[in-house]
Structure 1
Amino acid sequence: MRKRSNILKNILLPLALVLAVQWFDLRFDLTQDQRYTLDPSTISVLEALDKPLKIDIFLSGKLPTDYLRFQREIQALIQSMEKYTDQLIVEYIDPFEGAPDTAELVAEMNQYGLTPEYVISEQNQAVEQTVVFPWAMVNDGNRTISVPLIEKNLGDNQQTIINRSIGQIEFKFFDAFFKINQEQKKVLAVLTSHDTSEDVKIADLMRSLQSYYQLASFDLKALENDPIKTLENLKRFELLVVSNPRVSFSEQEKYLLDQHLINGGKQLWMVNPVAINRDSLFNIKGSAVAIGNDLNMGNAFFKYGFRLEKNIIKDLYCAPIVLATGAQSQAQYLPIPWPYYPLVAPNDNVIGNGISNLWFKFASTIDTVRSSATKTPLVSSSDFSKSVQTPITIALNEASDKLVPSTFNQPHQTMGILVKGSFSSAFENRIKPVKINQHRDKGKSQMIIFSDGTLAENQVDKGSPLELGYDKWTNNFYGNKRFLNNCIHYLMGNNALLEVRSKAVNMVVLDRELIAKKSNSWRVALLLLPLLILGLFGAIVTRWRKAKYGQ
């Protein structure tokens, strides 16, 4: 009887406990930043999945140490997601398995837009280069979304890149699920009249928005003789994007834009308060005159609560400009700091969180004035800046002048703001340029404005648009595209995209130089300390035994 009881207690009960545990999925997130707890928006998207999603993750096989840690974090996230849906089919793929040649594999993956990362590591005084494809692909049977898993900002080292990417894993997959699950896209329009940015120069921004919204062009001059119809057409769009207009707006056009805003339409403006002939600046002459750029919108902007100053901001913290020194075969192209190109960190808010530095060019100060709407600064210059009044001559040879920090003595200056709340019409208590039905003097809306008309413009190489924020002359990447995407998501009411992206994940960064410096002493300590503790414990036990049993 006792033998049966022992079998029951020692074998059957533990076995039953092990089997019972398999039916329960108990996980506790004890991290301070709740890293493994999904955002409610992510949970809602997962629970709404009504068809299988195939997820291929190209992080498998031989990986560098940092990427192995990255892989484990992705696996933990996938496990958290599978708790809320059974529609995910996940496969980890080693892209090099069966690949005869690395160069051929890289070329093939590039055709699908999956660019590699080249990781340089030092092992045993030897330098080793590893090719990694940190990408995932999400497929619902009808369309495929490529998911870049790596998130990096200008100046990040390898460890910082991995830590930043770990913090953005949830957003990357949420973004892909959001794109696939959209049943109906909201519509936004881009102003094409008034000599705004050329199509090829805003092509990359428009391409990045196509997965989220329906895009349309809008010509404010198309029906000049029928302003009522023009306003009706304009009201169809939830957002109007105005990029770098160079032709002033007539009173009638300004009135139509005003009524679009007052009736709840959102607007995103990128304008140059100061006009500079950049062709003259970057040709043989090497100089240009900066003068005020009158778009006939000043009184309307003032009514909304802000004013664009006719000045140019110079910042000690700036992006470089590449200039040639020497002649013919002795010519060298050198990056030189150019204070007219402020390098701006977005302010800490839901739009700017986690975004790399922005690249502004010849920006101006935005002052706020009293109005019923609330104003929130989005981007500002550094505390080592100054403004110069126009008209002024700007010459490229200024780049050779030594920058004197003491002359950059003005505090930060606003270059982009969000205006939201109750707006008063710019034509309140004024004679209207055209009679329309249901004129409104007040209304609630939102507007974002930047004092750099080229903020959304990408560079062009051989007639093809490059990625927005990429400078082909210095090979630097800036955060313009992600920041403007966030601005548009905010104005279009897609706050879930911003909330998931701004989720704070605090990763502890090890000081590798300190580790390398003290690694030998730590090895010795870890070897000897357990022996000392064991010896001390043995001595205490021996003394206790002698005291107790010695008599």
Structure 2
Amino acid sequence: MENTLTTPSASAAAPSSRKQRDLLTFAAIIGGLLLFNFIAQRLFFRLDLTEEKRYTMSPATKQLLRDLKQPVTVTVYLTGDFPPAFRRLEKGVRETLNEFQVYGGANLNYIFIDPSAGSTEAARNAFYTSLFKKGLKPTNLGATENGKRVEKIIFPWAVVSVGGKEKNVLLLRGNQAAPADVRLNQSIEGLEYELASTIRALVPALRKRIGVVEGHGELTNVQAGDILGTWQQQYDVFRVTLSKVKDLSALDAIVVAQPKTPYSEDDKYKLDQFITQGGRALFFVDALRVDLDSVSRNGVALATPYNLNLDDLFFKYGLRLNQNLLLDLNSGQIPLVTGMDGNKPKIEPMPWQLYPLINRFSPHPITRNLDAVYMKFVSNMDTVKATGIRKTPLLSTSRYTRVLPAPVPINFNDARLEPNPKLYQKGFQPVGYLLEGQFTSLFANRARPGTLQFQPEKPANARPSKILVVSDGDFIRSDVDPKTGNPYRLGFDRLANTEFANRELVLNATDYLLDETGLIAVRGKQITLRPLDKVKLAEQRRRWQLLNIGAPLALLAVFGAVRAWRRKRRYASFAA
């Protein structure tokens, strides 16, 4: 029998070479990880694989955050033990702030505070009171979870602090008439803009200049007090009398708010030159005069056309303000005496079709996901040919609208009557337009009023512009508290105890007209809502629960068996 001998040196060489290969492999892996980390620190990139790019910040937001020169702190009170639908909004806020921190770096910090986390009821109530004093009002939001109605009192607010200044941010936006899950989705879509625009308002920057035109019976400082005070937080606001200034070149935008007396030709010339040279303008004008102070004893007033001498200016820019009044079945209310309660008159709110609630908007960044706005004595508008002007109908009445041509008798006692739906068949009527482009001057090829100075057809300093025209002079008027004499927030209706979105629309429009960074375009962000099939979910719930529990355990068992088999096979070869 022949024996084969293996030398000790040869048998020891095999394990030694295998060990060296393992060490080299380990060193290569560690070196690769270090190299990848080194490259990743210098070449920053992020991938958003979602269809609608929900985690991608706009270039304007990125630039704003990169340019931060001082720390910004965002304190969020939207956290706690929420049902799943509400946790989705909280998660959206966290994800948005995480993205903000990526580009803001050390200058962007955020914290979440649960308002209901107090150890005792007294402590929680004390904290709630402190939030109330800051202007943070709770919201009772309902949703349906597993077929059950769930309600939760939450504080959907954040507070942004920059350099000792603070500003509140309402995180729960959207249309209140929409279902709860749709409104939550609308709120998530608007998070980037709400937070970024608030940061921009607090960060010191070159402030734009807004001129509020006066001298023609326009709204006073008290009547427009809320929106003027809000503008002043971000812009420099001035009162401007056209007859006392040479031109409006020192301003970036002008506001014409409910004039009541005609504009002179020279005043109109200054408006025209400002707009055709790139200045931005917001017009809130009435087509008909409704003097509520002259209501007769039987409750009747007469609405007659204004003569503001602005019709030809609007017509040249591509718009015609019609002399009529719109009645809408989707309307607000007025208080009326409906009887006597003892010795006192009994006053009840009654629907008033001349106060339309506008809830139909263009899919434009100014009006996207906007709640209803409140209007009074409004007229419709038509567009006319104007070369190079883009016309966007931002606001429209509901499908059930009636049009009354001037002069219009207004009888407040009509509010007691049930309206006849057959009379409200005029469909959607536009009441607010955005005009954009290079406007042709009304005074082109004409002499300036009062002079022989000829105006060329295309002046050398002509630039594109944007103007907003709303056929309601009351749109930016605030009701005044009779006790204090201070204006309420714009859009607040004392009778319904509801705040409409007039304020938000005006601020969005101002931002769109004046902001050159394009941040307002973020409001066009859309996140598709993909709800589950609730019927199929109920039928297959148990199956998917078992799959989610059993599949990981089965995979783990298979992995363990394969690993044990490979180890056994590997070390069996050594034993042989």
In the alignment, which residue of structure 1 is the partner of 2:340? 327
Per-residue deviation, 1:186: 0.8
Per-residue deviation, 1:58: 2.0
Structure 1 contact 154–476 (Cα < 8 Å) conserved: no
Most deviating of 519-528 and 65-74: 519-528
In the alignment, which residue of structure 2 is the partner of 1:247? 261
The answer on 1:77 being equivalent to 2:99 is no
In the alignment, which residue of structure 1 is the partner of 2:52? 33
Per-residue deviation, 1:389: 1.0
Structure 2 contact 447–453 (Cα < 8 Å) conserved: no
CA distance 1:32–1:291, shift in 2 (3 Å)? same
Per-residue deviation, 1:373: 4.6
Question: Any unmatched runs of 5+ in structure 1?
Answer: 224-229, 534-551
The answer on 1:452 being equivalent to 2:472 is yes
CA distance 1:247–1:530, shift in 2 (3 Å)? closer
User: Any idea what SS the aligned residue of 1:269 has?
Assistant: strand
Deviations 1:126-156, CA, capped at 9 Å, x for gaps? 9986442222222233422322222132324
Residue number among 358, 372, 379 corresponding to 2:373 in the alignment: 358
Structure 1 contact 154–478 (Cα < 8 Å) conserved: no
Number of aligned residue pairs: 521
> TM-score of the superposition, structure 1-length normalised?
0.83
User: Any idea what SS the aligned residue of 1:152 has?
Assistant: coil
- Hey, which bits of structure 1, 4+ residues long, moved more than 6 A? 5-23, 121-129, 527-533
CA distance 1:140–1:358, shift in 2 (3 Å)? closer
Per-residue deviation, 1:187: 0.5
Bigger CA radius of gyration: 2
CA distance 1:21–1:197, shift in 2 (3 Å)? same
Residue number among 79, 99, 104 corresponding to 1:60 in the alignment: 79
In the alignment, which residue of structure 2 is the partner of 1:537? none
The 2-side partners of 1:313 and 1:55 are apart by: 44
The 2-side partners of 1:82 and 1:532 are apart by: 39
CA distance 1:20–1:339, shift in 2 (3 Å)? farther
The 2-side partners of 1:473 and 1:491 are apart by: 33
Letter of the structure 2 residue corresponding to residue 141 of structure 1:
G
In the alignment, which residue of structure 2 is the partner of 1:549? none
Letter of the structure 2 residue corresponding to residue 35 of structure 1:
R
The 2-side partners of 1:125 and 1:366 are apart by: 46
Per-residue deviation, 1:168: 1.3
What are the within-5 Å matches in structure 2 for residues 511-522 of structure 1?
Answer: 521-522=539-540
The 2-side partners of 1:325 and 1:333 are apart by: 7
Most deviating of 366-375 and 36-45: 366-375
CA distance 1:93–1:275, shift in 2 (3 Å)? same
> TM-score of the superposition, structure 2-length normalised?
0.79
Per-residue deviation, 1:51: 3.0
Percent identity of equivalent pairs? 27
Per-residue deviation, 1:19: 8.7
Deviations 1:221-263, CA, capped at 9 Å, x for gaps? 4x3xxxxxx123x221121100001111223322332333333
Structure 2 contact 443–455 (Cα < 8 Å) conserved: no
Structure 1 contact 59–71 (Cα < 8 Å) conserved: yes
The answer on 1:478 being equivalent to 2:500 is yes
Question: Any unmatched runs of 5+ in structure 2?
Answer: 1-14, 552-576
The answer on 1:193 being equivalent to 2:215 is yes
CA distance 1:494–1:399, shift in 2 (3 Å)? farther
In the alignment, which residue of structure 1 is the partner of 2:557? none
Letter of the structure 2 residue corresponding to residue 153 of structure 1:
N
CA distance 1:325–1:60, shift in 2 (3 Å)? same
The 2-side partners of 1:379 and 1:122 are apart by: 32
What are the within-5 Å matches in structure 2 for residues 200-211 of structure 1?
Answer: 200-211=222-233
The 2-side partners of 1:83 and 1:172 are apart by: 18
The 1-side partners of 2:219 and 2:532 are apart by: 45
CA distance 1:532–1:305, shift in 2 (3 Å)? closer
The 1-side partners of 2:179 and 2:124 are apart by: 25
In the alignment, which residue of structure 1 is the partner of 2:438? 422
Letter of the structure 2 residue corresponding to residue 72 of structure 1:
K
The 2-side partners of 1:123 and 1:421 are apart by: 49
The answer on 1:378 being equivalent to 2:400 is no
Residue number among 408, 428, 433 corresponding to 1:392 in the alignment: 408
In the alignment, which residue of structure 2 is the partner of 1:312? 325
In the alignment, which residue of structure 1 is the partner of 2:199? 177
In the alignment, which residue of structure 1 is the partner of 2:566? none
Most deviating of 169-178 and 3-12: 3-12
CA distance 1:395–1:156, shift in 2 (3 Å)? same
Residue number among 249, 261, 274 corresponding to 1:260 in the alignment: 274
Residue number among 82, 93, 108 corresponding to 2:130 in the alignment: 108
CA distance 1:293–1:27, shift in 2 (3 Å)? same
Residue number among 330, 342, 367 corresponding to 2:382 in the alignment: 367
User: Any idea what SS the aligned residue of 1:464 has?
Assistant: coil
The 2-side partners of 1:192 and 1:490 are apart by: 24
Per-residue deviation, 1:439: 4.7
In the alignment, which residue of structure 2 is the partner of 1:227? none
Deviations 1:353-400, CA, capped at 9 Å, x for gaps? 222233222211222223335141222333432321111211122223
Letter of the structure 1 residue corresponding to residue 93 of structure 2:
I
Letter of the structure 1 residue corresponding to residue 479 of structure 2:
Q
